[in-house]
């Protein structure tokens, strides 16, 4: 399926922009489960806004991790995407969120899983990264830690949009007939990777997980190496797609290793998605940012919302 592009940019031109060297740059995705039948216009606008928010942080002297986080917060707050507000719901009809971040210079990382009362789980993940000796915190412990960090309780009902509630009602009816496992199909996640002018990289990823998942189910998103990875010696990557498959091939890490072996981020992204399909029969996508400023993206689903922003550009370029 051919992509929709914001602006007059062809696929070939987009590829050459990905291969352009030099930071600062930001690349984001809005999930590989983007519905092919919806109007792409607001999706493209949301993707661009996120990439631009990340680049703004870099241009103001912020770190790559600050930039990736800023982009991720914009996507979490945009109800079009499956993360934060607008997240897909569990089989019990609640939002249950996962997120992680990683800094490529220090290899510091943090994640939260199965949190239900945090508006921006990527900020809680950052607190785990910066403020604890841990890498992953889950459930009530993660929420208690978030409160200690000053993150207020956010009612779960406010994370649930009318669209997700209607979708849940429909699936809930279907699950009574076909069984719950057969309706746990749709994918979606958001992610951002950033590279600064000195080649320092970082990545952030956040999701509501798979639609109608069991409460307590964790996917790839909060796991370093699977959903998120960053190492200045290789690259930064953020995955999207079927978490159970992504976990098996450690897709974010695999893409970064490919860059370390000399592949461009664009080819590394394609090879990581091929690995996902060949070894784990998974569907999904990935974004990659190399320390030399080259970027990459790939997906084997009909659509993946994505955008790039580079220093010197008037605005970000998006596709879906
Ligand atoms: N990739 C998101 C999830 O499976 O939870």
Cα dist from 226 to 64, 102, 220, 269, whole Å: 20, 12, 5, 13
| Pocket (CB within 6 angstroms of ligand 1) | 189, 207, 209-210, 219-221, 240-243
- Rounded distance from Cα 189 to ligand 1 centre (Å): 6
**Strand (E) or helix (H) holding 258:** helix 251-260
Nearest ligand 1 atom to the CA of 243 is 4
Coil, strand or helix at 234: coil
| Domain range list for the chain | 11-319
Residue 161 appears among annotated catalytic residues = no
Q: Output the DSSP codes for 272-285.
A: HHHHHHHHH---EE
Written as six digits, the tokens of 3 are 């992509």
The SS3 call for residue 170 is helix
- Residue 188 CA to ligand 1 centre (angstroms): 7
Strands across the sheet with 228-230, in order?
Answer: 228-230, 236-241, 284-289, 295-299
Residues 6-45 pLDDT 10s: 656 777 888 889 999 998 999 999 999 888 888 999 999 9
Query: What residues have CB less than 8 Å from 179, skipping those under 6 apart?
Result: none
Q: What is the pLDDT, as a whole number, of residue 10?
A: 79
CA–CA separation, 73 and 279 (whole Å): 32
Pick the CATH number of 11-319 from 2.40.30.10, 3.40.50.10470, 3.40.50.720, 3.60.20.30: 3.60.20.30
Residue 9's pLDDT is: 72
pLDDT of res. 2: 65
Dihedral sign, Cα of residue 85, residue 90, residue 93, residue 96: negative
Residues in the chain where the model's pLDDT stays below 70: 1-3, 5-8, 184-186
**What distance in Å separates the CA atoms of residue 65 and residue 194, rounded to the nearest whole number?**
7
The pTM of the whole model exceeds 0.85: yes
- Ligand 1 centroid from CA 222, angstroms: 9
Q: Round to the nearest angstrom and report the end-to-end CA distance of the chain.
A: 10
């Amino acid at each position: 399926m051919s992509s929709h592009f914001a602006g007059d940019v062809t696929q070939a031109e987009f590829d050459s922009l990905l291969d352009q060297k030099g930071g600062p740059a930001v690349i984001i995705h809005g999930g590989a489960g983007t519905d092919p039948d919806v109007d792409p216009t607001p999706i493209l606008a949301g993707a661009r806004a996120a990439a631009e928010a990340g680049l703004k942080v870099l241009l103001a002297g912020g770190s790559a991790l600050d930039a990736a986080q800023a982009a991720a917060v914009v996507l979490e707050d945009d109800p079009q995407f499956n993360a934060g507000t607008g997240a897909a719901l569990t089989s019990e009809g609640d939002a249950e969120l996962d997120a992680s971040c990683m800094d490529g210079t220090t290899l510091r990382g943090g994640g939260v899983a199965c949190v239900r009362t945090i508006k921006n789980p990527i900020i809680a993940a950052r607190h785990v990264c910066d403020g604890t000796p841990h890498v992953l915190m889950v459930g009530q412990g993660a929420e208690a830690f978030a409160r200690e960090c000053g993150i207020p309780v956010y009612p779960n009902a406010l994370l649930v949009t009318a669209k997700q509630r209607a979708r849940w009602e429909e699936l809930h009816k279907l699950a009574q007939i076909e069984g719950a496992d057969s309706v746990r199909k749709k994918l979606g996640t958001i992610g951002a990777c950033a590279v600064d002018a000195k080649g320092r990289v970082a990545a952030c990823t956040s999701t509501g997980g798979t639609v109608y998942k069991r409460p307590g189910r964790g996917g790839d998103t909060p796991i370093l190496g699977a959903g998120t990875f960053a190492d200045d010696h290789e690259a930064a990557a953020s995955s999207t797609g079927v978490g159970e498959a992504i976990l098996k091939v450690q897709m974010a890490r695999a893409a970064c290793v490919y860059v370390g072996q000399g592949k461009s981020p664009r080819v590394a992204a394609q090879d990581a998605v091929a690995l996902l399909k060949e070894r784990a029969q998974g569907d999904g996508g990935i974004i990659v940012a190399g320390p030399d400023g080259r970027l990459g993206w790939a997906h084997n689903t009909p659509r993946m919302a994505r955008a790039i922003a580079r220093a010197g550009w008037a605005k970000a370029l998006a596709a879906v």
